[in-house]
Amino acid sequence: MTGSAGIHLTAIVETEHVAADVTIGAYAVIGRDVVVEPGVRIHSGAVIMGHVLIGAGTEVFPGAVIGKPHPTSAALSRSPVRGGRVRIGARCSIGAHAVIAEHVTIGDDSFVGDGASVREHCTVGHTCIVGRGVSVHPDCAIGDRTRIMDHSHIATGMRLGTDCFLSVHVCTISDPALGREPFEAARVRGPVLGNRVRVGAAATLLSGIAIGDDVTVGAGALVTRDVAAGEEVRGLPARPLPGH
């Protein structure tokens, strides 16, 4: 399917499931099992592979990769399991050079910034922001309307509720053994955040902790233990403010 209206002559489009009003730029590659809904714009050099649905009105910027298979390397702690469908919701924006792996769902009206990475088995809700350079590791769930700002790291297995806000350079940790022990999914898990949690710039949240609803974590805080709902914590290590 090349040379059609809206599809650049140099694009490689193997699928037959492309709506009539789709735009596909130069040197983009669209695999045979991809479904592209109406009003989608795919910019030059984007690569979409595997079983992927691109929802209506979504824009995919240059160099983005969607449906990336799990890598194989003896250095990796996880055994690769390849396959898994990808659904990009309607009216999303996928930034330049963003990478979205297999088995990922991104809800309607969400934004994935330039250079962001969303790994395998992740779910991103609707109207979310995954900012520029954010890394989301495998098996994470991000609730609706949650915003993760630039260069933050979402550790393996994290759960983030709805309407959360994580500022820039927030770091979350998943492995309490610091790599000394073999990978175990039950042990290597990031923190769990409730709804409406707000985390200041450059805060660090350690593995396995639970942060309740409506918590505020101050900028630069080191959170080493559970935080009850409604508390505001600051410091190294983080402690509740008086009166909270």
- The pLDDT of residue 244 is 59
Burial class (CB in 10 A: 0-12, 13-18, 19+), 88: buried
Query: To the nearest whole number, what is the mean pLDDT of the chain?
Result: 93
Mean pLDDT of 140-146: 98
Peptide linkage before 237 cis (omega within 30 of 0): yes
Domain covering 143-179+187-244 assigned CATH 2.160.10.10 in the classification:
yes
Residue 2: pLDDT band (50, 70, 90) is very low
1-70+83-136: CATH architecture: 3 Solenoid (2.160)
For the chain, percent of residues with pLDDT exceeding 90:
84
CATH topology match: 1-70+83-136 vs 143-179+187-244: yes
Burial class (CB in 10 A: 0-12, 13-18, 19+), 52: buried
Residue 81: pLDDT band (50, 70, 90) is low
Distance CA 244, CA 18 (A): 54
Q: List strands edge to edge, sheet with 99-101.
A: 12-13, 29-30, 47-48, 65-68, 99-101, 117-118, 135-136, 153-154, 171-172, 204-205, 222-223
Mean pLDDT of 75-87: 76
Distance CA 78, CA 185 (A): 9
Whether pLDDT at 223 is above 90: yes
Mean pLDDT of 127-141: 97
Structural domain boundaries of the chain? 1-70+83-136, 143-179+187-244
